[in-house]
Amino acid sequence: MDLKGKQAFSPKRLLSSFCFAGNGLKLALLEPNIRVHAAAGILVSAAGFIFQLTRMEWCILVLTIAGVIALEMVNTAIEKTVDLVTEEYRPLAKMAKDLAAGAVLLFACMAVIIGCILFIPKILTR
């Protein structure tokens, strides 16, 4: 055991970590906002196949889609944590939720801009 009382690395512990993470992905898919982002990602990926994106364009697209979904998951985790801590209205709790939602909005807007940069030239050349 290490100084914090936790077990050192073991395959069993690693497997447990992956199981917890997999459960987190399953829980995420129950959230309506994440479903919207996932559906948008699927549609944009279909467009990527139609417009035959290059490898580099695919890398950018996949990272952007994953970034939006991951950030939405963090936002959801923050919202659930704030709700767990307090049921009454608190300005700091609202600020934490609004900041997390704002981060998702900012990244989603940048994702749209990236999509435009990737797809508009391909659309115009068709």
Q: Taking Cα atoms as reference points, which of 59, 80, 81, 75 lies closest to residue 108?
A: 75
The single residue of 57, 72, 87, 88 carrying the catalytic annotation is 72
Q: Quick one: which of 2, 81, 40 has its CA closest to 10? A: 2
Q: Is 72 a catalytic residue?
A: yes
Task: Give the three-state DSSP class for 55.
Answer: helix
- The two three-digit tokens of residue 2, written as one number: 């290490």
Q: Which two tokens stand for residue 92?
A: 């700091």
Distances in Å between the alpha carbon of 11 and those of 1, 16, 25?
Answer: 15, 9, 21
Structure tokens at 51: 């417009």
Q: Which residues are catalytic?
A: 72
